[in-house]
Structure 1
C-alpha cells in the first residue's frame, strides 16, 4: 500500500497499480502514438501528392518536430498536463503520484521520463517489468529515483454513500458542536471508518482512537460513553441532521 497522511494526521492508503494495469496502459498509449504516427504520415503523403517539393518534406528538422519530438515527449507532457495521467493510464484508471499519495511535481515526472528511455524504450520494458515486480510498491527505477509511484484510482462512490447519510425525521443531534466541522472533516472521518478493509484491526482501531481524540479536543466533548466507531458514526449523523441529508 502507498500511504498518505491527511490533515487530521491519519494515515490512509492507496493500492499500487498492478503490472497488468501498467502493461495495458502502456499498450493503449502505444496505440495512440501509432495512430498519431500514421495520421501524420498520411497527411505528409497527401501533401506530397498535391505537388509539394519533396526536398522541403525531407528536411530533418521537420521530421523531428512533427514526428519524433511529439512521440518522445508524449508521456512527459501528458502526465504533467493531466496531473499524473496519460491517455492510457486514464482509461485503465491508474495515475502517477508521489510516494506519499500527493500530486507529483515536475521533477518527479521528468526523472521517471528520463529513466523510461532505458527501462522501457531501450529494453522493451524488461527492466521496468522486473523492477515493478520486485519493488511491490508500483515503482520502476525512475519512480524510485523520482520518489513517485503509480496507484490505482479509487472507484467513485455516490456522495450519499460517503459524505452524507440519511437521517430519520425527528432525529435530535447528540453532539450539536458538530457545527464547528466542515465537509472536509466529515469526509476524513468517513475515510477512517472505511479504512477497516485496508488494515489489521489493531492498526485500524488506533486510527479510530486518534481521530476520536482529536474530535473530542476540538469539539470539547468528553465522557460520551460510546464505542469509538459508534462515536464517529454519530458525528457524521449529527452533521447531516444539522446541515440536511441528501436524498
Structure 2
C-alpha cells in the first residue's frame, strides 16, 4: 500500500495510507447501489404526478431530476460530508488534500469535473491510481488531493483520562491555554490514532509542542506529556466557558 506523508499545520509529519484501487472501486460500487435505490424511491415519489402531466413531459422531468442527482452526488457529498460519499464512508476512506487539510471547494469541484475523463476514457483514472505515487487519479493530480484510509481508532480517551474534570486537578503547563483549537485537535487526533506510525507521530508532535509552547517535557514520556497538555487545555477552556 502506498504511504502518503502529510504535514500538518504544526509542521509535524503524519503518515497516512493511500486507499487501494480495490477500496475505491468498492466505494464506487456502493455509491452506485445507493444511487439506484435512491432513484427508485424518487421515481415512486413522483408517481402521483404521472396523471397530472403528460407521459412525455413526466418522462423528461423524471429523467432530468435523476440525471442531475447522479451528476451532482459525488460533488455534494464530498463537499458537505468531509470528503466522503456513502461508499467512502462505509469503506473507511476519504478525500484529503496532500498537505493533510480539508480540500477547498475549488479542489472538490476540479476533481469532480475531471470524473468524466477519469472514468470515461478507457480507465485513465484507474491506471493513474495504480501507477502514481499517492494513488491519484487525474482529478486528484489536478486538485492536489488524494484518497486516504481513515486510521482505526481503537483507543479512545476515556473519562478516567480526563483529569481536568476533577475539582482538585492542578494543571502542569499553563502555556497549554495558548494553544489554538486547531492545534488541540491535532493533539487529540494523534492520541486517538492507531497505526504503525503512532509512536513516531506522538514523539514528533510532543517535540513540536514543546517548541511551540516553550516548555519542557517533565513527564519523561511523549504520550503522557501530550495527554497532560490535552487535559491542561481542557481545564483552562472549561474555566473560560
Q: Would you say the 8 A contact 1:131–1:139 is kept in 2? A: yes
Distance 2:195 2:152 in 1: 17
Q: Give 2:100's aligned residue.
A: 101
Shift of 1:122: 4.8
Q: Would you say the 8 A contact 1:16–1:137 is kept in 2? A: yes
Aligned pair partner of 2:26 in 15, 24, 27: 24
Q: Would you say the 8 A contact 2:151–2:193 is kept in 1? A: no
Shift of 1:105: 1.0
Q: In the alignment, is residue 53 of structure 1 matched against residue 44 of structure 2?
A: no
Q: Give 2:239's aligned residue.
A: none
Distance 2:8 2:41 in 1: 46
Normalised to the residue count of structure 1, the TM-score between the two structures is: 0.71
SS of aligned partner of 1:159: coil
Q: Would you say the 8 A contact 1:165–1:237 is kept in 2? A: no
Q: Give 1:5's aligned residue.
A: 7
Q: Give 1:180's aligned residue.
A: 175
Q: In the alignment, is residue 141 of structure 1 matched against residue 138 of structure 2?
A: yes
Shift of 1:180: 2.0
Distance 2:174 2:76 in 1: 44
In our comparison, the structure showing a higher alpha carbon Rg is: 1
Q: In the alignment, is residue 150 of structure 1 matched against residue 114 of structure 2?
A: no
Q: Would you say the 8 A contact 2:118–2:124 is kept in 1? A: yes
Q: Would you say the 8 A contact 1:96–1:149 is kept in 2? A: yes
Instruction: From the superposition, tell whether residues 209 and 52 of structure 1 become closer, same or farther in structure 2 (CA, over 3 Å).
Output: closer
SS of aligned partner of 1:13: strand
Instruction: From the superposition, tell whether residues 54 and 94 of structure 1 become closer, same or farther in structure 2 (CA, over 3 Å).
Output: same
Q: Would you say the 8 A contact 1:189–1:211 is kept in 2? A: no
Instruction: From the superposition, tell whether residues 89 and 206 of structure 1 become closer, same or farther in structure 2 (CA, over 3 Å).
Output: closer
Shift of 1:214: 0.9
Normalised to the residue count of structure 2, the TM-score between the two structures is: 0.72
| CA displacement, residues 50-85 of structure 1 (integer Å, 9 cap, x when unaligned) | 474224324x4x245312111111111211121211
Distance 1:76 1:213 in 2: 40
Q: Would you say the 8 A contact 2:96–2:145 is kept in 1? A: yes
Q: Would you say the 8 A contact 1:139–1:148 is kept in 2? A: yes
Shift of 1:195: 8.4
